[in-house]
Amino acid sequence: MNKKSIKDVDFAGKRVLMRVDFNVPLDKSLKITDDNRIQAALPTISYVLNRNGKLILMSHLGRPKGEKRPEFSLKPTAERLSELLKVPVKMLDDCIGGKVKQAASNMDDGIVLMLENLRFHEEETDNDPKFAKELASLGDIFVNDAFGTCHRAHASTEGVTHYLESASGFLVEKEIGYFQKVLTGAEKPFVFILGGAKVADKIPVIENMMEKADSILIGGAMAYTFLKAKGVDIGSSRVEDKMIDTVNKILDKAKSKGVDILLPIDHIVTDCIETANHVNPTPDENIPVGWIGVDIGQKTIELYKERLLQAKTIVWNGPVGIFENDKFATGTKTLAIAIANSGATSVIGGGDTAAAVSKFGVANKMSHISTGGGASLEYLEGKALPGIAALSDK
């Protein structure tokens, strides 16, 4: 994708309007519990500041739905960023208006401005042209470093590009690079692991991956819909009955294309997810009446590991069990370690999968962990992301 990156732009003396993803988790006292998204933006922020750019940051936080609500203020992120950068970050009380424009016009060197939550205005998610133009008037150049919002055509991701020269930050550039590599030039064998809860959300990505991958390994709750479609007993496991016909078509299409779709051949099951007092392995792919599948079993782990250790490219979206509970985490943990030790190019997509590789201590051994759940899934579906498509061409 031939889009401008920040390395193609001269920032000296210019006001740089930058979209970041500071949608961080806060506790009840409004303290940040995980600052990874702020840390991830530091290379791009530092690059602009080191080249004498005047930086104006904008982000959303939570879903205030057009209301100015103090619990969704970006003030905690401005304070944390100031600590990390060791420079003052001036928090404004809005993202548009006369006071905001005046602050942007009279910026002192070495000070970073942080606009208040974009989603305090409904016009942000509506991609309102007037709102986008007002945001754009604050800067001379626009930089998008918020990959997690690039699948949304919002005022701060797509709208502003109609008024300003625009470029990707390092985070977005890295995401583009890895996803383009796996979608257009993946080294073979290419293994795609798909987990999580809903089949309905994943059909477009399965269809696109059938054109790219040699093997698709399926786990998580969505596997039980696939198994039921094949006539396997799934006990009381979660199932999407309305998707059975669609799943059968997917399996037929994969067979005709020579793409292996591997499903669990055994399971870890429980009679109650909440208490987990009784947890057992099954001898085969069938789950007894009254029992719920919560993880892949040991035979499945070995089968999937064998494919992973042969792979040159691995893309993983969605855990294969309820990994948050250690009793149901063995499958996800073992696959995470196998991928880390495989030597393959490994791309991790989706917030839950990123949390899993972090929990099991192998995040630093993955080639790339995507910062955008919905954005990474849509990229894997083969969709054009509005926030990337709108950036200036080189």
Q: How far is Cα 4 from Cα 336, in angstroms, rounded to an integer?
A: 34
Q: How far is Cα 109 from Cα 27, in angstroms, rounded to an integer?
A: 33
- Does residue 293 carry a catalytic annotation? no
DSSP H helix total and E strand total for the chain: 14, 15
- Does residue 253 carry a catalytic annotation? no
Catalytic residue among 312, 351, 359, 365: 351
Catalytic residue among 37, 119, 202, 228: 37
Other Cβ atoms less than 10 A from the Cβ of 230: the count is 12
Catalytic residue among 181, 198, 238, 299: 198
Catalytic residue among 62, 66, 374, 382: 374
Q: Any alpha helices (H) in the chain, and if so which ranges?
A: 36-50, 75-85, 98-105, 122-125, 129-136, 170-184, 203-209, 222-229, 244-257, 298-310, 330-340, 351-359, 373-380, 386-389
Q: Are 198 and 212 in contact (CB under 8 A)?
A: no
Q: How far is Cα 78 from Cα 236, in angstroms, rounded to an integer?
A: 47
- Does residue 37 carry a catalytic annotation? yes
Q: Are 221 and 201 in contact (CB under 8 A)?
A: no
- Does residue 198 carry a catalytic annotation? yes
Q: How far is Cα 172 from Cα 47, in angstroms, rounded to an integer?
A: 14
The dihedrals phi and psi of 140, each to the nearest 5 degrees, come to: -105, -25
The dihedrals phi and psi of 303, each to the nearest 5 degrees, come to: -60, -45
Q: Are 11 and 45 in contact (CB under 8 A)?
A: no
C-alpha distances (whole Å) from 141 to each of 56, 73, 95, 169 are: 10, 25, 17, 12
3-state secondary structure of 277: coil
Q: Which residues are catalytic?
A: 37, 198, 351, 374
